[in-house]
A = this chain, B = another copy of it.
Amino acid sequence: MRTPGKTVKSRQVTLEDIARELGISAMTVSRAINDRPNVDKKTKERILQVAREHGYIRNEIARSLMLKKSQTIGVVVPEITHSFFPEVIRGIEEVTYSSGYHLILAHSAENGDRERSAIRTLVAKRVDGLLISTAQAPETKSAYLQATRMGTPIVFFDRIVDNIGASCVSIDDEECTAKITQHLIDHGYKRIAHLSGPANVSIGRARMKGFKKALRRNSIEFRRQLVVESGFHEDGGYKAMKKLLQLPANQRPDAVVSVNDPAAFGAMAAINEDHLKIPDDIAIVGMSNDIRSTLVSPPLTTINQSPFMIGKIAAEILISEIEGRSMPGRAVIVQAELVIRSSCGCK
């Protein structure tokens, strides 16, 4: 019986090996394998034959070292489970696949230290570029700046950092939130609450701004007690809504703008627990067109952000910067649309 022990890698086949076997130089083998023009047809055939026989697979690590290019981009996301980021990643993958790049995925788990450490090791691995959606943590630009100083371009998406000269891809969070808030106002809601994201990520701040902007445009007084920070998850939405429901009945909101759909789902659970009807007693809207938003009861009015497109565009921009076809500092706004269902009282 075999016993555990260091895995014995059957020494990998190198260009040298093939060259030696054919009595030629490694350089010629390299040329043949990379399909360069200047190699005799016959020798090329012999080389490819032997390479195939030995199952030669080029060592991309050595190649990367030589070329100072890894054909790899690092992706840092704050979470992977909910439907938004998987869709973004699929968009990214679509682009990287067809342009010959690979994708190292790192998960910051909303933890700033983990995000910094991820960026650092991705830079150490000499990724050609970084795609980042920031963690929910106190901002520290130093890690980003270190990467860009080393010549590693960054494109931020969704949760962006727009003041360090890197490109950003997102929806117009402020305007979208204003739009969906306006939708509620247009339907006669007067006391509108906001379940807000944390102020240390761009979308938290921008959506809050959009909410306030809509109130201002309609000369509706902004009431501090109608804003509760919920974070981005169900439990936070639930707790924040509970808090709003504890207000005296005449101060309670008649509608709620949630920073995203999962928080809205949590809030809906809280509302149901109090035996209030949605939308009759309290209307509610989300912001991320979660896969579940059609299934909850009532179906959630929300904003479709096209996460697939966000990923695709972010990756395209990054690769074009890597390949020197465009300059950093672009700010791309992806179109997003209001999806009207019945949680807002329509239909």
Give the B-binding residues of A (Cβ under 8 A): 2, 4-10, 12, 55, 57-62, 64-65, 68, 70, 72, 80-81, 83, 85-87, 89-90, 93, 97, 102-107, 114, 120-126, 146, 149-151, 153, 291-292, 295-297, 321-322, 324-327
A93 CA / B75 CA spacing, docked (Å): 13
Partner of A87, one of B57, B62, B81, B322: B81
- CB <8 Å contact, B81 and A83: yes
Report the minimum CB–CB distance from A52 to chain B (whole Å).
Answer: 11
Closest residue of B by beta carbon distance from A105 = B105
Closest residue of B by beta carbon distance from A3 = B327
**In the complex, which residues of chain B have a beta carbon less than 8 angstroms from the beta carbon of A121?**
60, 102
- CB <8 Å contact, B57 and A150: yes
A60-B126, A104-B72, A295-B296 known; A321-B93 Cβ under 8 A: no
Closest residue of B by beta carbon distance from A308 = B81
- CB <8 Å contact, B97 and A151: no
- CB <8 Å contact, B295 and A60: no
- CB <8 Å contact, A65 and B68: no
- CB <8 Å contact, B10 and A149: yes
**In the complex, which residues of chain B have a beta carbon less than 8 angstroms from the beta carbon of A126?**
59-61
Partner of A146, one of B55, B87, B327: B55
- CB <8 Å contact, A7 and B151: yes
Give this chain's copy count: 2
**In the complex, which residues of chain B have a beta carbon less than 8 angstroms from the beta carbon of A105?**
89, 93, 103-105
**In the complex, which residues of chain B have a beta carbon less than 8 angstroms from the beta carbon of A327?**
2, 4
**In the complex, which residues of chain B have a beta carbon less than 8 angstroms from the beta carbon of A64?**
61
Report the minimum CB–CB distance from A219 to chain B (whole Å).
Answer: 39
Closest residue of B by beta carbon distance from A93 = B107
Report the minimum CB–CB distance from A134 to chain B (whole Å).
Answer: 18
- CB <8 Å contact, A151 and B8: yes
**In the complex, which residues of chain B have a beta carbon less than 8 angstroms from the beta carbon of A296?**
295
- CB <8 Å contact, B104 and A104: yes
**In the complex, which residues of chain B have a beta carbon less than 8 angstroms from the beta carbon of A104?**
72, 102-105
**In the complex, which residues of chain B have a beta carbon less than 8 angstroms from the beta carbon of A87?**
81
A86 CA / B80 CA spacing, docked (Å): 6
Can you report 26 A-B residue pairs in the complex whose CB atoms are below 8 A from each other?
A2-B327, A4-B324, A7-B153, A7-B324, A8-B151, A9-B150, A10-B149, A10-B151, A55-B149, A59-B65, A59-B126, A61-B70, A61-B126, A72-B104, A80-B86, A80-B89, A80-B93, A81-B86, A83-B83, A102-B104, A103-B106, A104-B104, A104-B105, A291-B292, A292-B292, A297-B297
Closest residue of B by beta carbon distance from A5 = B324
A326 CA / B7 CA spacing, docked (Å): 9
A6 CA / B68 CA spacing, docked (Å): 13
- CB <8 Å contact, A124 and B81: no
Closest residue of B by beta carbon distance from A324 = B6
- CB <8 Å contact, A102 and B106: yes
Report the minimum CB–CB distance from A84 to chain B (whole Å).
Answer: 10
Report the minimum CB–CB distance from A197 to chain B (whole Å).
Answer: 21
**In the complex, which residues of chain B have a beta carbon less than 8 angstroms from the beta carbon of A107?**
90, 93, 97
